[in-house]
Amino acid sequence: MDGGCGWGSIEEAWRKGPWTAKEDKLLVEHVRLHGEGRWNCVSMLSGLRRSGKSCRLRWVNYLRPDLKKEKITPHEESIIIELQSRWGNRWSAIARCLPGRTDNEIKNYWRTHFKKTKPGTHLRGARGDARLQSQQQYQLQQQQQPQEPPAYREYPAETGRSTLPAQFEEQVASLAQDHMSMEDLSFLYPTPDELQSDASFTDEASGDEGSWSCLWNLGGDEHAAAVMPTAFGTNTSLQEQLHLLYMLGSK
DNA sequence: AAGCTTCCCAACCGCTCTATC
DNA sequence: TGATAGAGCGGTTGGGAAGCT
């Protein structure tokens, strides 16, 4: 809002195309000194001839230190499939549930492997076969080591609200500590009416049963434990964290 | 070995949302 | 309250790598 550095004020001078190691270094150094945000000022402060948009993208998708460089695992693939079926192409939301993965990465992965096929099926060819084999092996493993279903705790019956897995409740309580009372968190337990009336939480692509079980069954408690903290990230506000809990719980 | 096909992913584009004035 | 700028999101593209014939 300072008006000094708009997306395209000197657009004709912006460099495009692949980033060089030198540019990466400049950007990393800039973020180290000034932190994330105010991307439009990067060019002025660091000397990079890149648009703020380009800088942000490069940082988010490639340079961030917490990014995973490994291939997407069958476990992560299962999560992607499940969340995509629930939320549709809300890649950024899905990415928040996968530690170290970016929306771009997940989007690319989905398009490559599932776009032209039904979820759960794979493209032809040797690489696709190997992937299918890997997925099947993983699923077999899961069957051989059945996970305990999550422990659900009923929200007080008189409220008519839905349930939340107990361990999530603990997290909610922990998050809410010093911030708000449990009464204030009632939105985490939406009634069917509330769910229906709140368009932002409905998803026409989903149409599922609206329980936790599906996501939960992907990896049992272990999976949930992995997903929840990372889904929140380090810069996520309490409100955002609760919102995410709500989304996971209401789908 | 060479040409073709498919996979993979970085990067761009256009649009929308949000915050600020 | 509308205008503007910053930020983020999803869709798309282009090119290199890997696999296939």
The answer on A102 and A53 residing in a single domain is no
Taking residues A222-235, report their average pLDDT.
Answer: 39
Query: How confident is the model at residue A187, as a pLDDT?
Result: 39
Token code pair at residue A102: 């970016």
Question: Helix, strand, coil proportions of chain A in percent (round to 5)?
Answer: 60, 0, 40
What is the average pLDDT across A107-128?
57
Count Cα neighbours of A41 within 13 Å in the Cβ-side half-sphere: 13
In angstroms, the CA A168 to CA A84 distance is 21
Q: What pLDDT shows up at residue A245?
A: 52
pLDDT at position A230? 38
Same domain assignment for residues A116 and A169: no
Which SS3 state, helix, strand or coil, does residue A152 take?
strand
Query: Which residue has tokens 């939480």?
Result: A201
Same domain, A194 and A140: no
Residue A190 lies in a domain: yes
Q: What is the CATH number of the domain that holds A53?
A: 1.10.10.60
In a domain, A38, yes or no: yes
Is A188 inside a domain boundary? yes
Q: Which two tokens stand for residue A71?
A: 């291939």
> Strand B-proximal residues, CB under 7 Å?
A 1, 15-19, 53-54, 57-58, 61-62, 71, 104-105, 107-109, 111-113, 123-125, 127-128, 131
Name the band, by pLDDT with cuts 50, 70 and 90, for residue A115: low
* Residues A163-184: tens digit of each pLDDT: 344 434 444 444 444 333 333 4
Same domain, A95 and A140: yes
Between residues A90 and A218, the one the model is more confident about? A90
| A163 and A245 part of one domain | yes
**Mean confidence (pLDDT) of chain A:** 58
Which tens digits make up the pLDDT trace of A13-62?
A: 688 888 888 888 888 888 888 888 788 888 778 888 888 888 888 888 88
Whole-number Å distance between alpha carbons of A31 and A42 = 9
Q: How many helices (H) and strands (E) does chain A have?
A: 11, 2
CA of A248 to C1' of B11 (A): 31
Tokens of A208: 């599922």
Q: Is the pLDDT of residue A194 over 80?
A: no
On whether both A163 and A237 belong to a single domain, the answer is: yes
Please, are residues A166 and A211 in contact by the beta-carbon 8 Å criterion? no
Q: Is the pLDDT of residue A157 over 50?
A: no
- Looking at the structure, do residues A173 and A227 belong to the same domain, yes or no? yes
In this structure, the answer to whether residues A98 and A140 fall within a common structural domain is yes
Q: Which amino acid is at A126?
A: A
What lies within 8 Å, CB to CB, of A83 at 6+ separation is A93, A94, A97, A215
φ/ψ of residue A102, rounded to 5 = -105, 160
Instruction: Work out if A89's Cβ lies within 7 angstroms of strand C.
Output: yes
pLDDT tens readout for residues A132-150? 444 445 444 444 443 332 3
Q: Which domain holds residue A22?
A: 11-63
Is A168 among the domain residues?
yes
Whether A39 maps to a domain, the answer reads yes
Among A144, A176, A202, identify where a domain stops: A144
Nearest residue, CA→C1' of C14: A17
Q: How far apart are CA A187 and CA A157, in angstroms?
A: 15
Q: Considering the domain boundaries, does residue A2 fall inside one?
A: no
Question: What DSSP character marks residue A83?
Answer: H
Q: How many domains does chain A divide into?
A: 3
Residues A97, A76: Cα–Cα separation, whole Å? 10
The pLDDT value given to residue A13: 67
Q: What pLDDT, on the 0 to 100 scale, is given for residue A70?
A: 81
A244 — alpha (psi -120 to 50), left (phi > 0) or beta? alpha
Region A191-196 average pLDDT = 38
Whole-number distance in Å between A129 CA and B2 C1': 26
Same domain, A168 and A207: yes
Domain boundary among A90, A122, A144: A144
Q: How far apart are CA A240 and CA A192, in angstroms?
A: 22
Residues A58 and A108 in one domain: no
The single residue listed with the structure tokens 């299962």 is A78
In the prediction, which pLDDT does A26 show?
A: 87
Q: What is the pLDDT of residue A239?
A: 42
Residues A171 and A108 in one domain: no
